[in-house]
Amino acid sequence: MTNHRKNLLQELEELRGTKIICYIGADRQSISTRVAPDIIPVFYKHLVSLGPVKKLDLFLFTKGGDVLTALRLVDLIYEFTDQFSILVPYKAYSAGTLIALGASEIVMNRTGELSPIDPNVTSIFNPQDPLNSTARLPVSVEDIYSFFSVTKNLGIVNEEAMVQVFLRLLDSVQPLAIGSLYRSYLLIKDVAKKLLIRHLDTNFEEQKINDIVEKLTKKYFSHNYLIGRKEALESLKLPIIYSSGLLESKIWSLYETYEAYLDLDKPYSPELSADQDGHFMVSCGVIESLHLADEYIFKGVLEKDSSDTIRNVNILEQGWLRMDGDVQTKSRQW
């Protein structure tokens, strides 16, 4: 961790009166890090290092990932604190939004964004991509839901007609693909409810919990819909805290250090960072607390022909790596 980022993190901890863990998953073109099970042991080491604390903040930037990892991470965090908050400088999409649902407060900058949590499933049973014979088209809940909504709006409501509509759907989408999508949909709803129950009383707020889950899984018409803090507070009724003044400035400044370090706003081209032998190394994710730092590292080599034209990019190693001393400063070198 650079001294500048360490100072910003320390100042933010003092301003918030909490301990903070930062989780940044790069979303660069051609290289990214998703919420996945391998973050759990990394987070555990940071949480053990911090020890049980009264309040803990997670500084979060991610475009999403594994649903069950989101639940597991929140459960793990609550083993070390009773008051868990999320800091959202910018993107906390999909599984990132699920993680936020488990927090008792969500501190959002004006640039902060959440997203729907509806499943978008791609499997071997999905329709084939007409532009790529080896690829499958994703199927989303919105697609299936909207398909049947259109038929009802056209007045097709009797049972026999609906059966024919369903059979036409099966001409394009295999039954197993629809089954997989529905199972994922039920899983996400269940996970979202479990996360909200962490800080909402089901005896008094069961309807609120159901409304939040229903909106996030079905009421938005695109998985790419972006939810700002005003909508998250007023429409979804989430426990949103508006950051402002010095707090907003510190949150954004800390985010900018990660944006610059990981080149979040730039596509990645391994040929530009490779050495003369074609070896390259790049960091595309960070989990940091004040005294510990881990990065997700890709190591690879460019395969070239006799004319020095790149034929292939081979990834030799990837995973989370503890950064100590000067190692971090070498993360873009072989």
Instruction: Say how many C-beta atoms besides its own lie within 10 A of residue 52's C-beta.
Output: 11
In the predicted structure, residue 276 carries a pLDDT above the cut 70:
yes
> What token pair was written down for 272?
């530009």
Q: What is the pLDDT of residue 126?
A: 63
| pLDDT tier, 128 (very low <50, low <70, confident <90, very high otherwise) | low
DSSP 218: I
Residues in the chain, overall count: 334
More confident residue, 306 or 326: 306
The dihedrals phi and psi of 175, each to the nearest 5 degrees, come to -55, -40
Residue type, 58: L
- Could you report the per-residue pLDDT of 252-261, keeping only the tens digit for each? 999 999 999 9
Q: What is the pLDDT of residue 185?
A: 85
Nearest to 241 by CA among 116, 112, 70: 112
Instruction: Say how many C-beta atoms besides its own lie within 10 A of residue 59's C-beta.
Output: 23
In a domain, 309, yes or no: yes
Rounded Cα–Cα distance for residues 24 and 99 (Å): 13
Q: What is the pLDDT of residue 26?
A: 92
Counting Cα atoms < 13 Å in the Cβ hemisphere of 104 gives 13
In a domain, 177, yes or no: no
Q: What is the CATH number of the domain that holds 59?
A: 3.90.226
At 39, which helix (H) or strand (E)?
helix 39-50
Rounded Cα–Cα distance for residues 285 and 296 (Å): 5
Mean pLDDT of 215-243: 93
Rounded Cα–Cα distance for residues 235 and 128 (Å): 37
Rounded Cα–Cα distance for residues 334 and 325 (Å): 17
| pLDDT tier, 331 (very low <50, low <70, confident <90, very high otherwise) | very low
Q: What is the pLDDT of residue 215?
A: 94
In a domain, 244, yes or no: yes
Q: What is the pLDDT of residue 288?
A: 97
Counting Cα atoms < 13 Å in the Cβ hemisphere of 44 gives 8
Q: How many structural domains does the chain have?
A: 1
In a domain, 310, yes or no: yes
From 54-58, 73-77, 196-200, 328-332, the region with the lowest mean pLDDT? 328-332
At 165, which helix (H) or strand (E)?
helix 159-172
In a domain, 90, yes or no: yes
> What token pair was written down for 319?
């995973």
Q: What is the pLDDT of residue 332?
A: 38
From 26-35, 37-46, 101-110, the region with the lowest mean pLDDT? 26-35
In the predicted structure, residue 134 carries a pLDDT above the cut 80:
no
- Is the separation of the CB atoms in 289 and 50 below 8 Å? yes
In a domain, 130, yes or no: no
CA 237, 73, 330, 19: dihedral to nearest 10 degrees? 70
CA 72, 76, 79, 84: dihedral to nearest 10 degrees? -90
Residue ranges making up the domain that contains 263 = 3-115+226-330
Q: What is the pLDDT of residue 122?
A: 61
Rounded Cα–Cα distance for residues 229 and 118 (Å): 19
Rounded Cα–Cα distance for residues 299 and 281 (Å): 4
More confident residue, 332 or 251: 251
Q: What is the pLDDT of residue 145?
A: 65
In a domain, 179, yes or no: no
In the predicted structure, residue 329 carries a pLDDT above the cut 70:
no
| pLDDT tier, 275 (very low <50, low <70, confident <90, very high otherwise) | confident
Tell me the average pLDDT of the chain. 87
In a domain, 185, yes or no: no
> What token pair was written down for 231?
């909508």
| pLDDT tier, 151 (very low <50, low <70, confident <90, very high otherwise) | confident
Coil, helix or strand at residue 289:
strand
Rounded Cα–Cα distance for residues 33 and 42 (Å): 14
Mean pLDDT of 294-308: 85
